[in-house]
Amino acid sequence: MKRICALAFLLFLLVIASCHSSDNPRPVIGNKWTLMIYLDADNNLGHWAALNLKAMQEVGSTQNVTVIVQHDTNGGTTKRYKVEKGSLTLLEDLGELDMSDPATLQNFVSSTALAYPADHYALILWDHGEGWKGSSLAGVAGTKSIFDDYDNGKYYVTTSNRDVALALAAAESAAGIKLDILGVDACEMSLIEAAYEFRNAADIFVASQDLVAVDGWDYDDLLARLVGHPLMTPVELSMAMVDSFRSYYAN
């Protein structure tokens, strides 16, 4: 009789434990994603960069998702932030940096990845873009594809896709990581010529082959999707980027 009662009691405990774990699943522990956003607004896009930063703060970082932004403005210094819900935590004021310099991008990616290790890494490049074309301004020759920096005299899109790819390769090597996703919030970057240059930079490349409005990506929606489901795979997050963009502009 005692043995039967003991077995019944153990069964009761197992049922309770099962119900408890089903109703209250264990929280996701650890930094699953480090999302890096290279926000080059040292040009005529400052107003919209500020709006994008505000949108990011609608969601912010969590214990599972870390959002780090390097932001430069025309007439201001280059600052690195951790995006929190409702605020920005200033990590470092870097002084006036040339955001169109590949070395600046390289340092941002490598130092951020080392400071905020995660299971997965995504990088979003934000600025004007021209795909593979040279600048439309007279007197500017060569393949210039992304980034300008007015405070450093770069009044036209100035950095080649190849230089960006080399900077990312060096950053990944220094940090011992591989980007899961390279996203580009800039015009005309999802072209086969650009994709070829970025073929080793990340496993997945997300960008628009056409013009992107100055509003850019819908960052509060995108971050809400990721923070709500931090166990997203890189494929799932890349699809969320596309779905978020499509939904925002469809509406």
Model confidence pLDDT, tens digit, residues 141-150 = 556 899 999 9
Query: Is 60 exceeded by the pLDDT of residue 130?
Result: yes
Query: Is 70 exceeded by the pLDDT of residue 240?
Result: yes
Tell me the H-state helices in 116-233.
161-175, 192-197, 219-228
Model confidence pLDDT, tens digit, residues 61-75 = 999 999 999 999 999
Q: Which fold has domain 30-250?
A: Rossmann fold (3.40.50)
Task: Give the separation between CA 241 and CA 23, rounded to whole angstroms.
Answer: 30
Task: Lowest mean pLDDT of 43-52, 89-98, 152-161, 222-231, name the range.
Answer: 152-161
Report the amino acid identity of residue 169. A
Q: What is the pLDDT of residue 27?
A: 66
Q: Are 24 and 55 within 8 A, CB to CB?
A: no
> Running DSSP on this structure, what letter comes out for residue 184?
E
What pTM value is reported for the model?
A: 0.87
Task: Lowest mean pLDDT of 33-37, 122-126, 157-161, 226-230, name the range.
Answer: 157-161
